[in-house]
Chain A
Amino acid sequence: MLAQLFRFKGGVKPPTNKTISVQEPIGQAPLPARLFVPLHQSIGGAPNPLVQAGDTVLKGQLIGGADAWVSAAVHAPTSGRVLAVEEHVAAHPSGLPTLCVVIEPDGRDEWIDRRPVDHHSLPPERVRELLRDAGVVGLGGAAFPSHAKLTPAHAVTMEQLVINGAECEPFMTCDDLLMRERADEIVRGIAIFRELLAAREVLIGIEDNKQEAIAAMQEAVLRLAPDYRVVAVPTRYPAGGAKQLIRVLTGKEVPASRRSTELGVQCFNVATVYTAYRALACGEPVLSRIVTLTGNVERPRNWEVWLGTPMREVVALARPRADSSSFLMGGPMMGFEIPDLDAPVVKATNCIIAGSPGLFPPPPPEMPCIRCGACAEVCPHELQPFELYWFSRARNFGKTQEYYIFDCIECGCCSYVCPSHIPLVQYFRFAKSEIWAREREKQAADAAKERFELRNARAEREQAEKAERLARAASARSTEKKASPEAAKAVDSPPAVAAGEPAAAAASDAETIRKAAIAAAMERARAQRELAQPKNTDRLSAEQEREIAAVEARRAVLPATAEPAGRAAGTGPPTGLQRGE
């Protein structure tokens, strides 16, 4: 059956450079001497460390528990000993450190007790929880926790489930190889997702430059789930963007700042589906991922790499050529230069490309924008990158938001075609992060203001309460005072007088009360002190009493016999006991 395909606007056709890395099957990368597993590998809350230095962990053991609903767990990729839970450089464009669990593998690769589950027998919420605790996240590169995308919208029936095998980024072939080699698991994984979402139709979109993957998937679908459709989509970057692929396969256009679920479509990457299958059917959490090593290397190939392996060791597998000057994580269109190769491989690391001056020549100098509009023509989200550029450059962030900067997916098409070589995406990233920072600051300022106001209100209330308390005490005292002489005179005091006590009198009364209270407190303290400190003549033993008696007897004799020594005898008594000893 031939389905009608749709077009998305814009897009570019960069040289794909994919054939070099598909010559060999997926290789299993060796275990490194140390694994640095970052705790925060997904979008959303950072997981809390569940282990500490010195602990032994098993392969697949939970080391970071999901912190919120949008968060995903992290596991130990192999068995070994936790050396530390410390900051280590992250796989991030900033090169700043992040909290990592450092594991020294013991080489035994000993699994935890793996419990395969039958997802049919479990309620959907439980399955979503299992996926979260297995650390299943979007492996296309965004690392969004998958379970959070697996809740069907109440209002709309789920029409289509789109499985993304397009892999439109040049150089990258990890999904291609995965589909070629592990098509069965992918198709079985799709069944789980389809059931959770109750999707009517399953569409597997694969770019038509991956014929072998298409064939493998078709064969698996035919055997296992004949009603899924494997669709070859035209090769055009960024056909693998979620919104673009949905557009191409279903003709539905997801509006700005809305989710595809609201239109009855949901989209998942093939690798994500594969890991979800492994998590449920084998009880194996996400411990490794397939990474394409390509570019300026002698042996481009796909490797299954343990998460947390330092990139330096991974890159060494591909033997980069001597003139390799930089390494990119992700594709050449959307990736970033890795600032430090000590950074570990994470769930978002789909590809590492060795760059050389020949492969990626340094960008020519930026020229002024000539308003040719080429960027607007290729923008797959129908934005106007040149306008966004003006406003980002001028730091006019309000205007950039009016031009929908947050719809930009940073695909890089505009920078790719710009005849003036303007790094447009960099300007947009700058503007976005500035806007986020301001938003954070604004929220913090608002919260601070609220706390300040609450504090002022509290101070006022406390002052009022204190004044009231004092006034009450004072009036009570004054009525008491009045009551006693008046009782003597046997005249009832009118209550109006007590109530109408002048404020000045109340204040002076308060002063006297305070003084009296202080005096009483001092008296109490003195009494307590005396009670607490026993005199050295208290609680004496019979022997000590006898000694004292002997001393006293001697002293009684002394003044009579030695008159000149009378001075000493006069000062003696308090230390009598010590002398007796």
Chain B
Amino acid sequence: MITALAIMALGAIVLGAALGYASIRFKVEGDPLVEKIEAILPQTQCGQCGYPGCRPYAAAISAGEADINLCPPGGMDGVRKLADLLGREVKPLEAEEKPKQIAIIDEQTCIGCTLCIQACPVDAIVGAAKQMHTIIEPLCTGCELCVKPCPVECISMQPIAENIDNWKWKYPVFEIKRAA
């Protein structure tokens, strides 16, 4: 009886020590789920989800505080991927889905106030005080954060036009014809 208890107690101590060591030695820094969620989000950093950037939103989803359908730039595609990753139901997007856009500054109207430069989360606007500003088109994520601060309303959002470089083969569709 005593030996049995001693053996069990010894086993418990050894295993407890091993587990305790492992929890320190193999501690995972940060939340790996947040990383995975963030990888799906489009990194526009637009805040349309109500969180100040993509990472905070990913953290909120991971903590179960936010729904997965709050990211308009990610679109339904993003919702589907998040649902896949998290094993949640696919939900319709909260906002309406827009085609991908970029901001364009009307350079004739720009007064060089630098407010849009301060608003841009991804450093996609160049310019200096009292100098004309312009958007580096390939870097613009279309977050619309620069539109509001502009005092002269010279920034507009324009959908990205199709060109030879971003053209895609279409899904094969065939017309259904009425049989004679």
Contacts and interface: CB of A to CB of B under 8 A. Distances in A.
Interface string B169-180: 111101000000
A452 interface: yes
A533 interface: no
A426 B169 contact: yes
B159 to A, nearest CB: 15
Interface string A447-458: 111011011000
B112 interface: no
Contacts of A436: 168
B42 interface: yes
Nearest to B41: A445
Contacts of B166: 437, 440
Interface residues of B, number: 26
A452 B53 contact: yes
A452 B172 contact: no
B164 A98 contact: yes
23 contacts: A96-B164, A97-B163, A426-B172, A427-B172, A429-B169, A430-B170, A433-B168, A434-B168, A441-B42, A445-B42, A445-B141, A448-B43, A448-B44, A448-B45, A448-B122, A449-B38, A449-B43, A451-B124, A452-B43, A452-B53, A455-B121, A455-B122, A455-B123
B139 interface: yes
B167 interface: yes
Kindly list the 7 A-B residue pairs having the minimum CB-CB distance in the complex, ordered from nearest: A445-B43, A429-B169, A433-B168, A426-B172, A449-B43, A94-B167, A448-B43
Interface string B104-132: 00000000000000000111100000000
B90 to A, nearest CB: 14
A446 interface: yes
A447 B139 contact: yes
Chief secondary structure at chain B's binding surface: loop
A577 B59 CA distance: 77
A423 interface: yes
A342 B81 CA distance: 43
A249 interface: no
A432 interface: yes
B150 interface: no
Contacts of B65: none
B54 interface: yes
A451 B121 CA distance: 8
The residue among B41, B139, B141, B162 with the most chain A CB atoms within 10 A of its own CB is B141
A97 B163 CA distance: 7
Given A452-B53, A455-B122, A94 B164 contact: yes
Interface in A88-132: 90, 92-94, 96-98
A502 interface: no
A366 interface: yes
A93 B44 CA distance: 32
B179 to A, nearest CB: 10
B121 A452 contact: yes
A365 interface: yes
